[in-house]
Amino acid sequence: MAAEEYGTPGAGQRLAVLGAGVMGTGIAALAVGHGVAVSLIDLDRRRLDEAPASIGHQVRTARLMGALPDEAVPGALVTGLSLADLVTAGGAAPTAVIEAVTEDADTKAKVLAEVSELVAPGTPVISNTSSIPIDELAGMTARPVDLIGTHFMNPPCLIRTVEVIRGTHTGEATLEAVRGLLAVLGREPIVVDDAPGFVTSRILHPMINDAVRVVAAGTASAESVDRLMRGCLGHPTGPLRTADLIGLDNLVDSLWVLHSRTGDEGCRPCDLLLEMVRDGHLGRKSGRGFYDYEGEQT
């Protein structure tokens, strides 16, 4: 990715993305593809070294599929081990920060606390989470009014709708700034109130858990479950292929969050899911989940 100036609708925006995993690189690719400059931060040097190639591949693929504007000059991409290092080195301050670290409340709270102390007041601090309540994280930040949640779906370049979670303390200016950022990124925001799992995960993840139970019981294969859900009920990919795309480890983390905060036994991860995660079969990102992806470029 070149670091030149760019003359696209993303000019003037600089996004800091914290976490170079599947979602972090996916969000970075979406931003870069719309001409937004991105600082990608991760503590893992190997991840950072691999991220530019992954982001470049995602941008090229999305453009071939017509999911990114052909005319947009790619935004500059820089990587670093800490946001503080980039700022003190003279890098431009971010206009927004998206935290996309692992789906663990303590980890997210720690990262958000550190970041909120670094950025200027009024800078939106966005937690990309599939299940953790925003109000639960807000107490750890310097300015809860600047904190808001998003739930980008994977892959971000291909799914246009974004769940936006407004916490009790989220300010109107923060909400409007995030609406503006998502407009630059060509996404449609749907704003919902704060709750464990919000809307999408609260409905989808227990349903996937039930689908796994059906497979574990021997009632049907993963392929049959997905074919029935696609053909009879209109699910676009089927719950188990969707689980592979989410990442089975991420799904388990989200289900534990829902179980602990709602008491719903239907959210307790079923034994087959836990076994697959223990065995390292995490879905598409590991090459194997309910389906085999060995040899595919991700």
Confirm whether 205 is a catalytic residue: no
Helix axes 248-262, 200-216, angle to 10 degrees: 110
Task: For the chain, state the CA radius of gyration.
Answer: 19
Cβ 166 vs Cβ 139: under 8 Å? no
Give the three-state DSSP class for 247.
Answer: coil
C-alpha dihedral sign at 163, 169, 172, 173: negative
DSSP 8-state class, residue 131: S
C-alpha dihedral sign at 248, 249, 252, 257: negative
| Distance in angstroms (rounded) separating the CA atoms of residues 293 and 156 | 20
Catalytic residue (one of 151, 169, 235, 259): 151
**Cα angle 165, 178, 170; round to 5:** 50
Give the three-state DSSP class for 262.
Answer: helix
Q: CA nearest 79: which of 37, 33, 31? A: 37
DSSP 8-state class, residue 82: -
Q: CA nearest 157: which of 67, 64, 286? A: 67
Cβ 167 vs Cβ 135: under 8 Å? yes
- Residue 28 C-beta-side C-alpha neighbours within 13 Å: 30
| 237 φ/ψ angles, rounded to the nearest 5 degrees | -125, -20
- The helix (run of H) or strand (run of E) holding residue 275 is helix 271-278
The set of catalytic residues is: 151
